[in-house]
Every structure is written in structure tokens, then in C-alpha cells.
A and B are shown apart, each in its own frame.
Chain A
Amino acid sequence: MIIAEQKPLKEIIKNLEGHRKILVAGCRSCVAICLAGGEKEVGIIAESLRLYSDMHDHLWEVDEITVERQCEKEWVKEIKKIVEGKDAILSMACGVGAQVMQEIYPDIRVVPGLNTSNMGAPEEQGIWREKCAGCGDCVLHLTGGICPIARCSKSLLNGPCGGSQNGRCEVNPETTPCAWDQIYHSLKRLGKLELMEQIIPPKNWITSHSGGPRRIVKQEAILTAEEKAAKGGLE
């Protein structure tokens, strides 16, 4: 899932200045799970904005709505009637959701309410950890199911650097395990330590962002012109 956290309220308020009719739009997907932009957070932030407006005579009109997924235009289109007449949308989705919102409503300013951090997973209640860097060329089969690109501070591919001590990464020893120490122990458990002997050659980063913005095409899933026309008629 995508992990995000709320921007400081001060920053959100500063970014909304000059607008009056504001819609706070949440998302029920990843950012709801990581307690950053779901219905509950939308309620809190909307109320905070109303209070701030009252205290400063801003005359803000703050409405709120939470959609199923802001990254899919079908869901975003559903709130058209609520969006109409607004002059700003505070998107409480990840950066993807905020961008889709802007695409669907190009004439209304979309302001991000969250800082999108990474692709990760909940570790325990209240803690989320990055797991994947989306490099487009997965090596988990070589590394005991632990990603060195996302989880090693230096994205090393051939084992731990000289700073790995007591299983911790030198960059943040208190919070970050050394990914290569974890890989070593995972491969040992799996009886695959010989994989640590292999030299992994320089990576092809084209599949990562180094090849420019990425696009995946699944030909068989693309609708024909007729199918698109038929679907358009239904909307």
C-alpha cells in the first residue's frame, strides 16, 4: 500500500489561502489504513479549517467528502455535484489520488493535504515501513524476499556495506535494520546462502524512474472503439 502522512495544519492553511469554497476530499484506500486521509481524518481536518476560519474571519465554506479511491477516475467523477462551485479541493489522498482529482476537475485548484512517502506495509499499530521502491525489475528471488533497493540505505546489490553492525543500518541504527543482514539471515534459513556469493551485475534502471515516467499496457484489457462507445453511453 501507499504510505502517506498529513502535512502540518499550518502548511495546509497557508496553501489554501485565497480560496473560499473548499472541499476536503478523503480516500478510503491506503491512506485511510495508514490513518492519514480517511473519513475520520477528513472530519478532523475539515473541522480544524472551519475553526481556523471562524477565528480569523476568513468566511471559508468547508465541505467534506470521502471517496472509495481517488486514484480511479470513476470514483472521482461520482462527486461531481459536490465539487461544483468549489474553488479549491484539499485532497487527502496520496499524490496519485490528488493528481487524478486535478485531471477530472481541471478548473478547480487541488491542494495536497498529505505528504506521500513510500510503498510499504504496516509493521505494528502506528508504524509503517517502506518495502518496495517500484524499480520495475524485482530481485526478491535473489535476496530472500527482502528488497535491497528499498530497504538498504545505499540500495546495494552485493551485500552489506562496512557500516552494518549488530544487524542495524548505520544511517538510522535505532529505527532501521540492515537490509543485507536480514537478507543474509533469510537466505541462511532458506538454505540459499550460495546466492550471497553471486555477483549481481549493474542494474538496468530503465525500468525504474531513470527510464522516464512508466506506463504498463495490457493489450487484451484495452477496450475496442465500439466497447468504449458503448461504455460511454452508460456513464
Chain B
Amino acid sequence: MKAGSNLEKVLEAGHFAVTVEIGPPKSANPESVRHHARMLKGYADAFNLTDNQTAIVRLSSLASAVICLQEGVEPVMQMTCRDRNRIALQSDLLGASALGIKNVLCLTGDHQTFGNEKGAKNVYDIDSIQELLIFKKMRDEKKICGGEELEEAPKVFLGAAENPFADPFEFRVTRLAKKVNAGADFIQTQAIYDMERFEKWMEGVRERGLDKKVHILAGVIPLKSVGAARYMKNKVSGMIVPDSIIDRMRKAKDPKAEGVKICIEQIEYLKTVKGVHGVHIMAIAWEEIVPEIVKQAGLYPRPSV
């Protein structure tokens, strides 16, 4: 065990894991994080607290993760390289570990021009692969990036994201391999709608034996409306939403119910894909729907390990 987190235990025991995203509010009020943590308790093995997602200023992922701990649910703290240099990232990792956070997701981060501080000076001192290298070195060698010894190492289960739908496609498996070699213990993918391309990517992953070295959690986003589907197809870079999905949403009498149905079908399918060890549900601003999805997908109750 690297960190002994619940997520790590679930995955190591061979269960099909469930992680769920909780978006921190654009506010100093912690109540929405508390509310979601209470409401979703028991429906996932760990909960991702996003780090100023899409470069929008929000309650910090560190603070949100601590609020989750206070509510008795396990956080996955996201840490982007956009806003912090290696000094701040390492310091925050030590702080997170000291506060009891055991899962960290290493991300490069969305570019600041997408958010609400477009004129910000970005950092990008390191990229997500280098972040993994540094955090692994801290955990396993008790050394910071610069080489100095730590009195006590942080105990963290290290995650990273991967997008099978970005280009060049042929490089996406290599990029996963780089993340695994850099120290990723688990991977959460971009939301999958194009199952064919995902399968092709997974083939490459299995060919290189990467599914044996890292736990892959496949990302899903339940759709609320045809507008949301179109938005993701047209406006979100690195996402492929097939027309068949858009058609289904367009024709549906109850788009929300259809969105849930599609999501459950996707999870059922992903359960059968060799090398997929779990799902990561990103119900962006629709966290209330998660219990229904988890139950209907046959993933409730969560195993106790």
C-alpha cells in the first residue's frame, strides 16, 4: 500500500471502483461541498475536488478536500500546474498529506484564457508528468524535487488524467505510458462518448501492458440536455460526442432521463472492457443525480475494504 486510501484499497482488492467529482463553489461558503459530501456519502469510493476547473476561481481544492474529510468522505485532491510553481505544489502536497488527504490527481490544468481571470500570469513551471515524478520522489524517496531530504514523506495515492480523444491519437497511449512511468497509480480519463475510439485506445493500452501497471477509471458525464451534448461536441476541446448520442438526446421526451439512461448504458459497457478498473462520474453541476446512476448501474453499495 502506498497511501492506504480507501480508493487504493478498493482498486487493489480488484473491485470495480467508483469515483465522483464534486465541483467547489465560486464562493467562500463551504455549504455546497458539505451538502454534496453528505448526500453522496457511500455512493463512491472517493470524491474528486476540482482545482479551479476551467480556470474559474473557486473554493480551493485543498480546502474543499478538508471539508470532505470533516464530513467523513474520502477526497481526491486535484492539483493543477497552471497556478503554482514546484515550490507551491510540493508545499501544498505536504500540507494536504498532513491534513489527512491520501489521493492526489496531478493535472497540467486548463489554460487561464478559458476562465474568469483571462489576464492572469500562468505558471506552468512543470507539467503533469513532471508533477507525478516529483510527488513520487517525495513519497518514495523522501526527497523534494531539488534533492533535499524530507523529515517525513507525504503518503499519497497518485492519479493523473488522460484523454484518449485528443490528438495526435497515435501518441495518446505513449502519453499514458509516460504518466505511468512517471508514477501514476491510477488514471481518470476524459469523458467517453465515442466508445469505438476508446476501445481502440484501450487496445493500445493493453498491448503495452499498461492496464497491468495502472488502474484505469473511465470517465463519464451524464447529459442533461441536447444543448449540453452539442456544447461538449463543439466547444470543449479534446472531446468527441458522436451524432448518435446527440440524436438520442434530441429525440428524447425526457432528456434528463435519457441522459441518465445513456450514462448507465455506458457504465455497463465499460464494466466489460478489459483493463478498465472503474468509472469516474463527472456530473458537472448535477451531483444530485449520482446516487441514482450508481444504484442503477449496479455499483451500490460500495465495497467496504
Which residues of A are at the interface with B, using a C-beta cutoff of 8 A? 153-167, 170-171, 173, 178, 181, 184-185, 196-197, 199-203, 205
Contacts and interface: CB of A to CB of B under 8 A. Distances in A.
A154 B128 CA distance: 11
B111 A181 contact: no
A173 B162 CA distance: 21
Contacts of A160: 166-168, 171, 175
Contacts of A184: 168, 170-171
B178 interface: yes
23 contacts: A154-B82, A154-B122, A156-B127, A157-B130, A158-B127, A159-B129, A159-B174, A159-B178, A162-B162, A162-B238, A165-B237, A167-B167, A167-B168, A170-B111, A170-B237, A184-B170, A184-B171, A199-B129, A199-B130, A202-B86, A202-B126, A202-B133, A203-B125
Given A157-B127, A162-B162, A164-B167, 14 more contacts: A157-B129, A157-B130, A158-B128, A158-B129, A159-B175, A160-B171, A161-B166, A164-B166, A165-B237, A167-B167, A167-B168, A171-B111, A173-B237, A196-B174
A199 B178 contact: yes
Nearest to B177: A197
A162 B179 CA distance: 13
Contacts of A163: 110-111, 166, 237-238
Contacts of A170: 111, 237-238
B161 interface: yes
A39 to B, nearest CB: 35
B145 interface: yes
A178 B167 CA distance: 9
A155 B175 CA distance: 16
A153 B108 CA distance: 12
Query: Considering residues A171, A178, A202, which has the most beta carbons from chain B within 10 angstroms of its beta carbon?
Result: A202
B101 interface: no
Nearest to A163: B237
A58 to B, nearest CB: 34
Given A159-B171, A162-B166, A205 B237 contact: no
Interface residues of B, number: 36
Interface of B: 82, 86, 108-111, 113, 122, 124-130, 133-134, 145, 161-163, 165-168, 170-171, 174-175, 177-178, 181-182, 190, 237-238
B38 to A, nearest CB: 31
A203 B167 CA distance: 24
A62 B190 CA distance: 60
Contacts of B163: 162
A185 B42 CA distance: 47
Contact of A197 (B122, B124, B178): B178
Given A157-B127, A160-B167, A196-B174, A201 B133 contact: yes
B81 to A, nearest CB: 8
Interface centre among B109, B113, B127, B130 (most CB of A within 10 A): B127
A162 B145 contact: no
Given A163-B238, A196-B171, A156 B145 contact: no
B173 to A, nearest CB: 11
B65 to A, nearest CB: 22
B163 to A, nearest CB: 3
A153 B124 CA distance: 10
Nearest to B132: A199
Nearest to A172: B113
A173 to B, nearest CB: 8
Nearest to B126: A202
Given A156-B108, A159-B174, A199 B238 contact: no
A162 B168 CA distance: 10
A156 B162 CA distance: 15
Contacts of A157: 127, 129-130
B130 A201 contact: yes
Shortest 6 CB-CB contacts between residues of A and residues of B: A162-B163, A170-B237, A163-B237, A158-B129, A162-B238, A156-B127
Highest count of chain B CB atoms <10 Å: which of A161, A164, A197 = A161
Contacts of B128: 158
With most chain A CB atoms within 10 A of its CB, the pick from B109, B110, B130, B167 is B167
Among the interface residues B109, B161, B166, which one has the most CB atoms of the partner chain A within 10 A? Answer: B166
Contacts of A153: 111
A194 to B, nearest CB: 10
A155 B124 contact: yes
Nearest to B181: A199
B111 A202 contact: no
